[in-house]
Amino acid sequence: MDWEFATLSSPYFGELANTILRLKDSGASIWDKETLEAAVTIADTARRIGENKKSRTLFINLNNWRAAESHLRTLVEIQERFSHIEGCSYVTQLSNWAWVLVKLNKHDEAKATLIKIAELGKRVDDPTEVLIHRLKLAETQRFCGDLKEAEGLLLQVLKDSREGLRADHLKTIRVLELLCYVYYDQKNWAQAELKGFELVKLSQQALGPKQPDTHWEVNPNPD
């Protein structure tokens, strides 16, 4: 087993990769078959990411949706067995999976994933995790075409984030950015432009005017 690849996968698969590494570092003398298979999957995924540095998400930028769906399904199943499924890493995987399912016209499965994200959000108490769960729920609602629901949730999350953090906090900016995309999808050009100008202003406050991220443009694809 080349554990270097498992280590490299930590930024991409968060708690899942870290769980496998903790099991390895514990010095346990007996490894069950499922744990070894999980480690192999993570290592292989990290290797593939390393071989395709331009792809921010495995296979997605190559439009190989079937390969992406298969890999994300496997990762979700492994994380359900070995990791903390209420965590933000797992919810992010579910949201990415729902997006790919929609691309493959598997709308029923995408909706089931959306419901799962909503249920998981009820189990968290930490304010930061609550914000991230709600943001991922709204993001998934957008993927599934539930634009009115996504808009309503994001407006509430934006209000809470401004009060709990601040207007130019990066998490608040991310909420505002996603709201811009929802307005774009709705063809609500007036609100998209209004919120877009606000997004640029707040991004410049947070990051400085010379940062490329401060020049907002509509990009309907997720990060």
| Three-state SS annotation for the chain | CCHHHHHHCHHHHHHHHHHHHHHHHCCCCCCCHHHHHHHHHHHHHHHHHHHCCCCCCCCHHHCCHHHHHHHHHHHHHHHHHHCCCCCHHHHHHHHHHHHHHHHCCCHHHHHHHHHHHHHHHCCCCCHHHHHHHHHHHHHHHHHCCCHHHHHHHHHHHHHHHHHHCCCCCHHHHHHHHHHHHHHHHCCCHHHHHHHHHHHHHHHHHHHCCCCHHHCCCCCCCCC
Which tops the pLDDT comparison, 78 or 28? 78
Task: CATH number of the domain at 69, please.
Answer: 1.25.40.10
Q: Which two tokens stand for residue 2?
A: 């080349």
- What is the spatial distance between Cα 123 and Cα 90, in angstroms, rounded to a whole number? 13
pTM: 0.71
Residue 222 has pLDDT above 50, yes or no: no
Q: Tell me which residue range forms the domain holding 42.
A: 35-126
- Predicted pLDDT of residue 138: 96
How far apart are alpha carbons 79 and 19 in whole angstroms? Answer: 9
Query: Do residues 40 and 119 share a domain?
Result: yes
Q: Are residues 82 and 40 in the same domain?
A: yes
Q: CA-to-CA distance for 198 and 177, rounded, in angstroms?
A: 10
- Cβ atoms within 10 Å, residue 38: 25
Indicate whether 41 and 87 sit together in one domain: yes
In a domain? residue 10: no
Task: Say which residue the tokens 């539930």 belong to.
Answer: 146
Overall average pLDDT of the 71-88 stretch: 72
Q: Highest mean pLDDT: which of 9-13, 29-33, 41-45, 170-174?
A: 170-174
Sign of CA dihedral 6, 9, 10, 13: negative
* Structural domains of the chain, count: 2
Q: Which of 46-60, 85-99, 191-205 has the highest mean pLDDT?
A: 191-205
| Spatial distance between the Cα atoms of 177 and 211, rounded to a whole number of angstroms | 16
Residue 25 forms part of a structural domain: no
**pLDDT at residue 126 in the model:** 86
Position 17 in a domain: no
Task: Let me know if residue 135 belongs to a domain.
Answer: no
Residues 98 and 159 occupy one common structural domain: no
Does pLDDT of 55 surpass 50? Answer: no
The pLDDT tens digits for 87-131 are 777 888 899 899 999 999 999 999 999 999 999 888 888 888 899
Domain-located, residue 60 = yes
Of 94, 126, 158, the residue at which a domain comes to its end is 126
